Amino acid sequence: MRVLVAGVGNELRGDDGFGIAALRGLERDESHGADVRYFESGIAGIALVQQLLDGFDALIILDALDRGAAPGTVFILESDTAALAASEGPREPIDLHQADPEGVLQLAAALQVLPPRVWIVGCQAADCDELGAGLSEFVRRAVPTAVRRVYDILTNLSIGASEAHGSA
């Protein structure tokens, strides 16, 4: 089971650095082995799509979100990859330098490199506009929660892969 974990965002813009902070928390632990690749994509969507060209079974994207919730709320969103793969491509042009996760997933699907399982582990941002600011207190405290959620996903993927392998 090959998994790509991608940190998305700009750490120079306040809470937009959430994905990068969470990725760094994950990179310290190598217990998931060589089958998990950690990648800091920053805000360059095309770089993430290029990584997907290497072929992965799953993708976990870490990113700041705005879903209208309380700042620091962590969300686990599983993408409908079948619907993305069946679509006829992006409805609107995608800025490949600053593509959001949805744009990256649409492009990856169009190029037929979208893994069959995709999650976004996101955190409700408080402020992504203040240049040079670090994470807000709410989002900083949410990073360990997001890291645990990624570990949960990786563990479930490992269990699922070993069960599938054992039944073959």
Q: Which pLDDT does position 11 carry in this prediction?
A: 85
121-146 core/surface letters (b: 16 or more CB in 10 A; e: else):
bbbbbbbbeeeebebbebbbebbeeb
Q: Report the percentage of the chain scoring pLDDT > 70.
A: 79
Instruction: Give the global pTM.
Output: 0.85
Of the pLDDT bands very low, low, confident and very high (cuts 50, 70, 90), residue 159 is low
Residue 13: pLDDT above 50? yes
The residue that leads in pLDDT, 64 or 104, is 64
Query: What are the structural domains of the chain?
Result: 3-167 (3.40.50.1450)
Instruction: Specify the pLDDT at position 165.
Output: 47
- Does the structure show a pLDDT above 70 at 99? no
Report the pLDDT value the prediction gives residue 42, as an integer from 0 to 100.
Answer: 79
Say which range, 92-96, 102-106, 115-119, has the weakest mean pLDDT.
92-96
Reported as a single tens digit per residue, the pLDDT across 23-67 is: 999 987 666 666 899 999 877 678 899 999 999 999 999 999 889
pLDDT in tens, 128-158: 777 767 899 999 999 999 999 999 999 998 8
Judge whether 42 and 64 are in contact, CB under 8 Å. Answer: no
| Arithmetic mean of pLDDT over the chain | 84
Give the residue among 58, 39, 41 at the shortest CA–CA distance from 1. Answer: 58
Per-residue pLDDT tens for 62-92?
999 889 999 999 999 998 777 777 766 555 6
> Which whole-number Å values give the CA distances from 134 to 19, 68, 82, 100, 167, in the listed order?
13, 21, 37, 21, 48
